[in-house]
Structure 1
Amino acid sequence: MNKSELIEALAEEINLPIREAASITNTIIETMSEALARGESIEIRGFGSFVVKEYGSYTGRNPKTGEKIKVAPKKLPFFKVGKDLREKVNQSRKK
């Protein structure tokens, strides 16, 4: 499912015009992005949580040349699946 399909599903589910569903979806995504950018975590019970993980610098290798390079520290978003979603996904595989 991509963003447009999510917007269409929301519009259908609660009988909204596509434009309003798009606005709601964009607001949710932007709000979540801003929270993660501030280093906050997001928890959606039954679905999962989003956290920002910090990775320190390390010495890596350029795969083409084999040359050693220093990789700068970075922060990346990480999603941890919730129990309900994990069980739902596993049930759908058994069918």
Structure 2
Amino acid sequence: MSEHTGPVYEVTLSVDADVAQGLDDWLAGHVALMLDLPGVSRAETGRLDDTTGRESRVVRYYLESDEDLDSYLAGPAAALQQQLADRFDDRFVATR
């Protein structure tokens, strides 16, 4: 297997514990949508330890080129991020 040479776009999500299952359900569909976008070659998701009583997830999207990342950020990124905000309102924090 060849080593990935393109950019990695990482998002860390922290949510209230009582909505963590909803985040996991939403995230599965979101990752599938991301993998359908041009230039997104794979994604990895995982859980992070969180000592604040919240639940945290990290997602890494592997893109084929800087241009693919730029296209994502200039195009569908805002709408996909808004879907998260609409669903979880003030119950989450995302860092990119």
TM-score (norm 2): 0.28
Higher relative contact order (CA 8 A, sep 6+): 2
Higher strand share: 2
Q: Give the number of the structure whose alpha-carbon radius of gyration is greater.
A: 1
Q: TM-score, normalised by structure 1?
A: 0.29
